[in-house]
Structure 1
Amino acid sequence: MKKADKTLIIFMAILPWLSISLLGRKTLKRFLPGGIFMSLYLIAEGRFAEKKKWWWFPYSVKPNVLAELPLILGPFLVGSLWILKFTYGKFNLYLLVNIIIDSIFTFIGLNWLKKIGYVSLVRLNKFQLSLVFLIKSFVLYGFQVVYEKCFPQNET
């Protein structure tokens, strides 16, 4: 991986965070627990996928650090907050938006990441990866529903 490509990966992790202030404090407080839960879920999934050879990251941020961490802590975490902000409570819209964004990543973004030597699928094809993303969409939404039942937000 070229130095310019490494810079792009770092940029990819940092750039989404520039939009956080636009979310609003209330939205951040409401949806951040779900985003953090999903980030932890993705870290566990990454370890599992590494063992099962679902995908391969020839590039690593640091030794013994999950290579997909820039994706998890950047676009996925912040993107989840934005998607929840605009679609939570409208499940069909939430599902549609997730399918569209996940498909763009799977069928366009993944090609670019493979081209720069960041990741490649090994034992999963793109359709199977789409199903993995779909499952994560259900898990995130389900977590948020349960979280809001257990910790209702006080409207003042």
Structure 2
Amino acid sequence: MSNSFIMWSLTIVPWLSLFFMKKNEIKHWMPVATFAVVLTTIIGDIGIRLGFWATRESIYPFAQMLPYAFGIMPVLTIWVFKFTYERFWLYMVTNTILDIGFNFFLLNYFLSSRGIIDINISPFLSLPITLMHAVVIYGYQRWQDDVLLSTRNVAEYKCQPAAAKPFANLPKDEEND
């Protein structure tokens, strides 16, 4: 099996699992998945710059980023949030298990043994990075829910912009101006 096939599989195959999820659930969790991709891209770029890891083999158009950031990672984020959101400790236990598998098996064993990536950081040091990533995206989703709740309240009270409101009853002397 070629490295290119493995990397394309890491990118495309996970998205097929979303056919088993309801459309409104995907819509609800897609912002946090998108934020997770952006944050992973930033962390990945910083790690490359600091020499923590280096991509040796990539697929087009991902020159320096591993394709898992656009495949497995956002889809797993959606599934984990679907089943664990609003139960922070269950969320953290689930993420810890997934991050251990990611750091120890996927990065340090599988991808590095195939020559796809060079890891210059211990999995014991990269694990706290991925766990902080999980905490930050959980906080983002909590914030996102608070923002959406406040906009739902506005719609619930049928508030209108000032331009759509009728004029107030003006006194007689102001009507002639």
Q: What does the per-residue CA deviation read over 1:56-86, in whole Å, with 9 as the maximum and x for residues that have no partner? A: 1111224773331x11010001000000000
Q: Does 1:88 align with 2:90?
A: no
Aligned 8 A contact 1:50 1:56 in 2? yes
Aligned counterpart, 1:37? 35
The partner residue of 1:55 within 43, 47, 53 is 53
Task: Between 58-67 and 99-108, report the one with greater CA deviation.
Answer: 58-67
SS of aligned partner of 1:60: coil
Whether 1:79 and 2:76 are equivalent positions in the alignment is yes
Gaps of 5+ in 1: none
Question: How many Å separate the matches in 2 of 1:85 and 1:17?
Answer: 15
- Give the Cα–Cα distance (whole angstroms) in 2 for the partners of residues 100 and 42 of structure 1: 18
Structure 1 distance, partners of 2:21, 2:71, is 15
Whether the 8 Å contact between 1:106 and 1:129 is mirrored in structure 2 is yes
Query: What value does the CA root-mean-square deviation take over the aligned residues?
Result: 1.7
1:8 partnered with 2:6: yes
Instruction: Give ranges in structure 2 of 5+ residues lacking alignment.
Output: 153-177
Q: Secondary structure at the match of 2:2?
A: helix
- 1:46 corresponds in structure 2 to 44
State the TM-score, normalized to the length of structure 2.
Answer: 0.80
Q: Which runs of 4+ in 1 moved over 4 A?
A: none
**Superposition pairs of residues 13-24 of structure 1, within 5 angstroms:** 13-24=11-22
- Aligned-residue sequence identity (percent) comes to 25
What SS does the aligned partner of 1:56 have?
Answer: strand
Amino acid at match of 1:23: M
Q: Alpha-carbon deviation of 1:7? A: 0.7
How much does 1:116 deviate? 0.9
Q: Return closer, same or farther for 1:59/1:23 CA change in 2, 3 Å cut-off.
A: same
Please say if residues 41 and 65 of structure 2, whose CA atoms lie closer than 8 Å, have aligned partners that are also in contact. no
Single out whichever of 56-65 and 97-106 deviates more from structure 2: 56-65
Tell me the residue number matched to 1:28.
26
- How many pairs does the alignment contain? 150
Normalised TM-score (structure 1): 0.90
Residue 133 (str. 1) matches residue 127 (str. 2)? no
Q: Which amino acid aligns with 2:42?
A: A
Give the whole-Å Cα distance in 2 for the aligned partners of 1:38 and 1:63: 19
